[in-house]
Amino acid sequence: MPNRKHHRRLVLSPERINQRVSELAAELEASLDDSEPVFLGILKGSFIFLSDLVRAMNRRVQVDFIRLASYGTSTNSSGSITMHKPPEMDLKDRIVVVVEDIVDTGLTLRWLVDHLADYHPRRVLLCSLIDKPERREAPVEIDFVGFRIPDGFLVGYGLDYNEQYRELPGVYTLEFDEGSS
């Protein structure tokens, strides 16, 4: 999809994100047992959130990544999803904390939860920095949500628009200019 003309508006400052990530880490700790969980990041969008989240945890954790691809436009996912990089660890009998950047239609996470069952984890917990519940098409229970944001296309803190803006320390909404293509 070609880049449309746009500008950015700040919606989550780095300070606000940092505060909420600490709270999420505490919420997660409270619902884990003594076993070492696997934090399973979904590439690429979750890489910054995951690295802040594991550093906010007061316990030993392990980290793995998967890469999913969904065929759609740069601002909309579609239902057809494939796993481009499977987990490298053995997830059997492990507690798996799936770390996602943003849940929009829910199609990606719904697909993943169904497919993770093949790896026979003991328990799967879902953690997403951002949830856009109003856009949901597939039912999915997210156990830990950083922020609920109704709508808009978001970038920064790992989130991209055509691979741009992942490096921004805050989260911004993109406002597309009228008539641009």
Q: Which of 40, 100, 121, 157 binds ligand IMP (CB under 6 A)?
A: 100
Catalytic residue among 52, 101, 104, 131: 104
Which 12-41 positions form the footprint of ligand IMP (CB under 6 A)?
none
Which 52-91 positions form the footprint of ligand IMP (CB under 6 A)?
77
Residue 1 tokens read as: 């999809």
52-74: buried (b, 16+ CB within 10 Å) or exposed (e) per residue? bbbebbeeebeebbbebeeeeee
Stretch in the footprint of ligand IMP (CB under 6 A) among 26-34, 59-67, 88-96, 154-162 = 154-162
Please say which residue, 54 or 109, places its beta carbon nearer to Mg ion. Answer: 109
Residue 136 tokens read as: 């949901």
Question: Contact between 158 and Mg ion (CB under 5 A)?
Answer: no
Number of residues in contact with Mg ion under rule CB under 5 A: 1
Q: What is the DSSP letter of 135?
A: G
The CB density around residue 163, as the number of other CB atoms within 10 Å, is 8
**Among ligand IMP, Mg ion, none, partner that 54 touches (CB below 5 to 8 angstroms by kind):** none
Residues listed for the chain: 181
| Contact indicator for 157, 130 with CB cutoff of 8 Å | no
Stretch in the footprint of ligand IMP (CB under 6 A) among 3-11, 55-63, 104-112, 119-127 = 104-112
Please say which residue, 32 or 113, places its beta carbon nearer to ligand IMP. Answer: 113
Which 17-56 positions form the footprint of Mg ion (CB under 5 A)?
45
Active site residue 104: yes
Q: Which of 41, 52, 66, 104 binds ligand IMP (CB under 6 A)?
A: 104
Residue 88 tokens read as: 């490298």
Q: State whether residue 36 is helix, strand or coil.
A: coil
* DSSP H helical ranges for 57-141: 107-116
The CB density around residue 126, as the number of other CB atoms within 10 Å, is 20
Residues that bind ligand IMP (CB under 6 A): 45, 77, 100-108, 153-155, 159
Residues that bind Mg ion (CB under 5 A): 45
Catalytic (active-site) positions? 104
